[in-house]
Amino acid sequence: MELLFLGTGAGIPAKLRNVTSMALKLLDERGSVWLFDCGEATQHQILHTSLKPRRIEKIFITHLHGDHIYGLPGLLSSRSFQGGDSEVEVFGPKGIELYLKTSLSISGSYLKYPLKITEIEEGVVFDDGQFRVEALLLDHGITSYGYRITEADRPGTLLAGKLEEAGIPPGPIYKKIKSGEKVTLENGSILDPSDYLGPRQKGRIVAILGDTRYCENAIRLAKDADLLVHEATFAAGEEAMAHEYFHSTTAQAAGVAIKAGAKKLCLTHISSRYDRHASRELLEEARGFFESTDLAEDFKEIVLPLHQP
Ligand code: ZN
């Protein structure tokens, strides 16, 4: 599992930072990629990476401001010509369906694959047993969601030696135990899988938030997360301006990470008023509040290693 930043700027594209998009690479986990937001020229950014558009399985939109969605119709259209024939599901606030259907239909775009559009509300928006995605409302003037992606725990490794010691020869019983099933033997005794499995491997948690002011739901979404991606449109000390424009400062993003007990924070949605040097200062400033902070850059990738059992 890796998170690849495709655009990390605020509002308008700049030479250093394109508008918002990021790809959660789940290639080892499910052979696919999930996009979060799709600002203009996201498909051009993808050309500079090893991402395959046909691998895009789901797209989660945080909110409908242009710098988060203007790249969507183009990316979806091009995917038809890039070998994409599997379904794509787009999740987003109310309005995303009208936006997509209108732009695709009046441009005469025909997709060679099924497109499913789900307008979300707060709560669990996706759960297939392997991953669960929950959304909560943030505070951004228009409807803006944050997403919490939780990977299911993996069962512990089978303690085959212990089963053999108990006189159980390898066979279908091992498979049942491995999948966590209780097994009743012919003699009536019951095998409890927890006795024959190593410790469970905890799943990873990533919180990816849309634009927002400092708010309680951000803390809920990021609770104990391995990684929190939070906007930091302004420097610490600019809280009044952040409030006025429904954005956050570095200090506020760090405050969310601390209160949530997140392990790592990555700041994104950086205003173009901060050049390379000034954005280093933003990072140093945030690290003063929360040590484990990183600053997103276009094409930067954060690896989320498996937890040790
Ligand atoms: Zn916005």
What's the CA-to-centroid distance between 108 and ligand 1, angstroms?
28
The SS3 of residue 309 is coil
The answer to whether residue 120 scores a pLDDT higher than 80 is: yes
Supply the pTM of this predicted model. Answer: 0.91
What's the CA-to-centroid distance between 44 and ligand 1, angstroms?
21
For 48-73, the pLDDT digits (tens) are 999 999 999 999 999 999 999 999 99
Structure tokens at 121: 């509300």
Quick one: CATH architecture of 2-154+200-303?
A: 4-Layer Sandwich (3.60)
What average pLDDT does range 208-230 have in this prediction? 97
CA-to-CA dists, residue 232 to 15, 180, 212, 248, 308, angstroms? 19, 43, 9, 5, 31
For 179-203, the pLDDT digits (tens) are 888 999 888 889 898 899 988 889 9
Query: Tell me, what's the pLDDT at 309?
Result: 73
Of 42, 47, 57, 1, the C-alpha closest to 24 is 1
What's the CA-to-centroid distance between 60 and ligand 1, angstroms?
15
% of residues, the chain, pLDDT over 90:
85
What average pLDDT does range 201-215 have in this prediction? 96
Catalytic residues: 67
What's the CA-to-centroid distance between 63 and ligand 1, angstroms?
7
206: enclosing H helix or E strand: strand 205-209
The answer to whether residue 294 scores a pLDDT higher than 90 is: yes
The tally of CA atoms less than 13 A away on the side-chain side of residue 27 is 12
Query: Tell me, what's the pLDDT at 203?
Result: 95
What's the CA-to-centroid distance between 191 and ligand 1, angstroms?
54
What's the CA-to-centroid distance between 234 and ligand 1, angstroms?
13
Tell me which residues have their CB within 5 A of the ion that is ligand 1. Answer: 65, 211
d(CA 246, CA 141): 6
d(CA 23, CA 56): 9
28: enclosing H helix or E strand: helix 27-30
Average pLDDT value for the chain: 95
Query: Tell me, what's the pLDDT at 187?
Result: 86
Extents of the domains making up the chain: 2-154+200-303, 160-195
Amino acid identity at 9: G
